[in-house]
Amino acid sequence: MSRPPPVPWFERFWAIAGAVSIRTKILGIVLALVLVLGLGITLLVRAALTQTMDAQLEEQSASVARDLAARATDLILINNLYALHQLLRETQVNNANVRYAFILDAQGHVLAHTFGEGFPTELLDANSVQANEHHRTSALQIDEGLVWDTAVPIFEGRAGTARVGISEEGVRRAVNAVTGQLLLTTVFVSVIGITAAAFLTWVLTRPILNLVQAAHAVGRGDFTPQVKRWAEDEIGELSEAFNSMTAALAKAEEERAEREQLRAQYVKGVIAAQEDERKRIARELHDSTSQSLTSLLVGLRTLGDKCGHPEVQRRSEELRDIASNTLDEVHTLALRLRPSILDDLGLAAALERFVADCRGRYSLHIDLVMRGIREQRLPAEMETALYRIAQEALTNIVRHAHAQAASVLIERQNGAVRAIIEDDGFGFDQAAVARVERRLGLYGMRERAELLGGKMTIESEPGRGTSLFVEIPIPTRIT
């Protein structure tokens, strides 16, 4: 089993950072910049200041040692050790950074020093200077810290050597003080930066949040929100563009609603015209064609009774059968076109008669259940729509489903009429609903329901039958 390719680090980072709000992003960027700049400047200043002050300490160490060597020359020559001790103490007192000072004779023995309790002998070999050298400075690490130790020859080394140690402790304190001030300044600037960034994000995100709320309203189909233009900048232009868009969408929605209303009126008019035409044709078939066929049957019977010729009687009998079958088909056609019982007795009686006709004609077991329909009639257009939907659905079941049984449920419930028509036939693939709707006339059924503010849902699977659900609200004046 192959492993999925690793996700690049940037995508992993952005998956986390991208989920953070804009306000948090801006605050984070400002805070990061202030901290990076503040810490960077602090480190640079600390390094530069340390380097500069170390150089000054080195120069100070050489300067104090040379001064000490010059002043100690005469005292060494006259062997005035007391004055040498006084000179060393004076040198240490006048220079706060002097950690220690001592003088060696030409043989390397200590003549005088500033160490009270005992001279640390390890300093003797820590630094030395040749007679021909101006001075030599070394950095020594002692218990108290780093010391710049400078050795200067006295009287070209013939009188001895002067050693002075300058401590870095004062410099470190000064550098640490400056560093603390810079860090404090960084914190202060960070607070100011965060405050400014918070105000900036509030100014920037407030109109954006208004745009988001308005966009959600537009997503729900409400095109009335207008976003206030806060400033003459890009966000202000975005607000104006959004307002123009919502105005255009509102106008388009209004035009679409008008077109939909016109289409609904047109379809409703077409359906009404179809029903009127069906009613007229059914009446013509019932009143004119049926009477003519009935007269033809009577005439053929009279002709057969009066004529004694066997062939004429036989042909008369055949013609009577044809005319009788034609009359039955005309009656059936008139009933299917527009059953008069629908206008006279209502939906319940019309459906009972149509279902009974389907049972007898097609040998299909159909269960018909009606609840709350008999007690109070529905509006005429609703009864017509439900009758046509049930008629079309049962016709599809007979023609296409190859079903053994079907059921029809019509019930009034919660201010609406619900119709459920099911069969145990072949069914069809839901992915082919668009094609099936046209072929089975489902589009017309759906349109009848939608014209009355209802909806139609179809559930079907190959080999599992089909279920058709229709729900149409009843006008309040009827409920």
> Which of 243, 254, 244, 258 shows the shortest CA–CA distance to 221?
254
350 band by pLDDT with thresholds 50, 70 and 90:
confident
17 band by pLDDT with thresholds 50, 70 and 90:
low
Q: What is the pLDDT of residue 339?
A: 67
Q: Which comes out higher in pLDDT, residue 212 or 187?
A: 187
Percent helix / strand / coil, the chain, rounded to 5: 60, 15, 20
Instruction: Please say if the pLDDT value at position 240 is more than 90.
Output: no
- Region 221-241 average pLDDT: 74
- Region 1-24 average pLDDT: 61
419 band by pLDDT with thresholds 50, 70 and 90:
very high
**How far is it, in rounded angstroms, from Cα 347 to Cα 437?**
25
For 93-115, how does the pLDDT look when each residue is reduced to its tens digit (9 = 90+)? 888 888 889 888 888 888 888 88
Q: What is the pLDDT of residue 284?
A: 65
Q: What is the pLDDT of residue 421?
A: 93
Q: Which comes out higher in pLDDT, residue 351 or 433?
A: 351
Q: Write the burial class of residue 109 (CB in 10 Å: 0-12 exposed, 13-18 middle, 19+ buried).
A: exposed
479 band by pLDDT with thresholds 50, 70 and 90:
very low
Phi, psi (deg, nearest 5) at residue 125: -95, 0
SS3 labels along 359-428: HHHHCCEEEEEEECCCCCCCCHHHHHHHHHHHHHHHHHHHHHHCCCEEEEEEEEECCEEEEEEEECCCCC
Instruction: Please say if the pLDDT value at position 469 is more than 90.
Output: yes
Mean pLDDT of the chain: 79
Phi, psi (deg, nearest 5) at residue 129: -140, 145
**Residues 117/122/123/125 CA torsion (nearest 10 deg):** 150
1 band by pLDDT with thresholds 50, 70 and 90:
very low
Give this prediction's pTM.
Answer: 0.46
**How far is it, in rounded angstroms, from Cα 195 to Cα 200?**
8
- Region 132-152 average pLDDT: 83
CA atoms within 13 A on the CB side of 113: 18
**Residues 19/23/28/29 CA torsion (nearest 10 deg):** 100
Angle at 469 between CA 466 and CA 471, to 5 degrees: 170
Token output for 283: 């009446």
Range with the largest mean pLDDT of 162-166, 229-233, 280-284: 162-166
Reduce the DSSP state of residue 128 to 3 states and report it.
coil
Residue with tokens 């009933």: 335
Instruction: Please say if the pLDDT value at position 177 is more than 80.
Output: yes
Token output for 108: 């390397």
Containing 101, the helix (H) or strand (E) segment is: strand 98-104
Instruction: Please say if the pLDDT value at position 271 is more than 70.
Output: no
**What's the Rg (C-alpha) of the chain?**
55
Range with the largest mean pLDDT of 154-158, 388-392, 428-432: 388-392
